[in-house]
Amino acid sequence: MDLGIAGKRALVCASSKGLGRGCAEQLAAAGVNLVMNARGSEALEEAAQAIRDEYGVEVVAVAADITSEDGRSKVLDAAGDVDILVTNAGGPPPGLWSDWGREDFIAALDANMLTPIALMTALMPKMMDRGWGRVVNITSQSVKAPIPALGLSNAARTGLTGYVAGTARQVAPFGVNVNNMLPGIHATDRAIQLDGGVSQKEGISIEEAKTRREATIPARRYGTRAEFGAMCAFLCSEHAGFIVGQNILCDGGGTNATI
Ligand code: NAP
């Protein structure tokens, strides 16, 4: 399918690895020029070059912490006007409800709620002026089915989801479509880190922890970054102009709910 977005320009945050990289790769496959970001410059440059080589699109790489004000300014200066925005950042650490104080919540809200809001606030006005734009926020399946150990993530991402529900409907009349993607378990560094936590806590191997978790997913496997990125590219395509303010689960059936 021709996604109809060749030649457009996208900012994909936190994209040297994992789900963000999957989104960058699939947008590049559709002919979209990219601004990619991550904190570590080595992996970022490697990912940017691999995408240039494979897809022949322009890629600007900006090493910065997207959750800090300075980092965001650096990324936004390099990005200029973009047609497509994919927001993403690392998730907050797991823990117990009684572990967290005000500063932990502020850090989680900054990273996973206020950062995507700041990026949308900065970039959507020009999209609205041009009458076309797409925003995809990477959140989590925990928005639909909260994960007890991820209280910080549950809180911040649910806040973002509420904001998007209203905002998406305010910008849709101007040709800007905002949606969220809710990943279940995908085979990325983040998943390996979570499996490592279970392996340590329960005294089992990481492989065993993974096998146990795969058994809880109806698809009986972890998702891939290519599958996730393909859905993101579709939501950023010409064909997605009638999809507004949705929360799209990509979880292999892991969230047992229809509504
Ligand atoms: P990942 O494999 O660990 O990759 C994270 C990427 O984001 C890396 O490129 C990392 O590069 C970059 N990054 C992290 N923090 C950043 C920051 N502050 N500023 C700029 N770049 C940053 O993680 P992932 O699995 O793709 O997860 C992406 C998001 O989806 C996370 O919020 C995660 O909680 C959420 N999620 C993931 C899953 C899953 O199964 N994978 C499930 C549900 C939700 P640097 O470290 O060099 O900055």
Q: Determine what percent of the chain is predicted with pLDDT higher than 90.
A: 95
- Using CB atoms within 10 A of its CB, is residue 67 exposed (0-12), middle (13-18) or buried (19+)? buried
Residue 130 Cα to ligand 1 midpoint, Å, equals 31
Q: What confidence tier does 117 reach under pLDDT thresholds 50, 70, 90?
A: very high
Q: Does residue 243 surpass a pLDDT of 90?
A: yes
Residues in the ligand 1 pocket, defined by CB under 6 Å: 14-20, 37-40, 43, 65-67, 88-91, 138, 140-141, 183, 185-186, 188-191
For 65-103, write each residue's pLDDT tens digit: 999 999 999 999 999 999 999 999 999 998 999 999 999
Cβ neighbours of 193 (radius 10 Å) = 13
Cα–Cα distance measured from residue 26 to residue 233, given in angstroms and rounded to the nearest whole number: 6
For 123-146, write each residue's pLDDT tens digit: 999 999 999 999 999 999 999 999
Residue 131 Cα to ligand 1 midpoint, Å, equals 31
Q: Looking at the CA of residue 40, tell me the nearest atom of ligand 1.
A: 47
Residue 206 Cα to ligand 1 midpoint, Å, equals 20
Q: What residue's CA is closest to ligand 1, atom 22?
A: 14
Residue 174 Cα to ligand 1 midpoint, Å, equals 30
Q: Does residue 190 surpass a pLDDT of 90?
A: no
Cβ neighbours of 25 (radius 10 Å) = 23
Name which of 166, 211, 176, 175 is nearest 191 in CA terms.
211
Residue 88 Cα to ligand 1 midpoint, Å, equals 7
Tell whether pTM > 0.85.
Answer: yes
Mutate to test the pocket of ligand 1, among 44, 190, 214 (most ligand atoms within 8 A of CB): 190
What does each C-alpha distance from 130 to 81, 111, 149, 174, 175 come to in angstroms? 10, 29, 42, 8, 8
